Amino acid sequence: MAGAIRFSVSLSEELLKKYDRLLVEKGYSNRSEGIRDLIRDFLVQQEVEENEEVVGVITLVYDHHVRELTEKLIELQHQSDAVVVSSMHVHLDHHNCLEVIIAKGKGEILRKFADQLIGARGVKHGKLVVTTTGSKLPR
């Protein structure tokens, strides 16, 4: 890796053993790859906290028999300041559906958007996972 800088890290023996076991389980080829991923994740969380533009995946599991819920979810998507990039609807069984919504926007806007969707009556479970657009994340 061009321009790589070596530095040392001090860890307890127990912590290092747990880290090494996890690296093997996850298929990392070396400790440096794992450390790079930890640092990138830390930087992505900073983008969210600094209200940078990020991408979010919102998953919703809901009972589609709840009156007007589907219409409410669609209305919230149209009214949001977040940009809905894509959505997918999956029928899980006779009563339950999964909605996956990919949205882009400032971190705070995505959180508020997800909260509105997740808080809608009839939504059984929801989760927002946020990641970077990649534009500000170093290699």
pTM equals: 0.81
Give the three-state DSSP class for 98: strand
**Does residue 107 have a pLDDT over 60?**
yes
The whole-angstrom distance between residue 52's C-alpha and the CA centroid of its chain comes to: 14
Q: What is the mean pLDDT of residues 92-105?
A: 96
Tell me what pLDDT residue 26 has: 94
- Count how many residues are written for the chain: 139
The DSSP letter of residue 93 is S
Please answer whether residues 56 and 115 qualify as being in contact, where contact means their C-beta atoms are separated by less than 8 angstroms: no
φ and ψ at residue 103, rounded to 5 degrees: -135, 155
As to burial, measured by CB atoms within 10 angstroms (0-12 exposed, 13-18 middle, 19+ buried), residue 56 is buried
The DSSP letter of residue 34 is H
CA distance 18 to 94: 43
Query: What does the pLDDT look like over 18-72, one tens digit per residue?
Result: 999 999 999 999 999 999 999 999 988 888 888 899 999 999 999 989 999 999 9
Tell me what pLDDT residue 128 has: 96
Paired with 114 in beta bridges are none
CA distance 115 to 119: 6
